[in-house]
Amino acid sequence: MSDKYKREIEEILKQAGDIVSPEKRRQPKFSLWRLIWRNITRSLEGKLWSFSPGRIMLIAVVLFLLSMVFGAMRLGIGGSLAWAGLLLFIIGYAMFFIRPKKVEKLWRGQPIDISGETWWDRIRRKLKK
């Protein structure tokens, strides 16, 4: 597309209010701390006392950090905290694969309710035919 047409299209869109000039666009700032904070808040969402793999793994990371702090202070509980953190991390990682998320089946944006018929009912219906 030639520059003339591009300029005309941009001018029309500016008049309509749908475009912001490239100079005025602001790039979002991504930082490591913002990413970490967003993942921590996501893992803490939901019911307060439920055990999710994310929460268990977060507790494991906290135990690892505490074991480093107590190990640096030459206290005797640093090793046991590290082992507990490792055990919890393995449990949380296994829970991630064991407990599948419930997926809501949709058809054209509407939920499909297929819970009325069990697998046993389907087998009996097929055997009757």
Domain chopping of the chain, boundaries: 3-128
pLDDT for the residue numbered 26: 63
What does the pLDDT read at residue 129? 67
Q: How many CB atoms lie within 10 A of CB 62?
A: 13
Q: Which residues of the chain have pLDDT under 70?
A: 1, 18-29, 47-49, 99-101, 114-117, 129
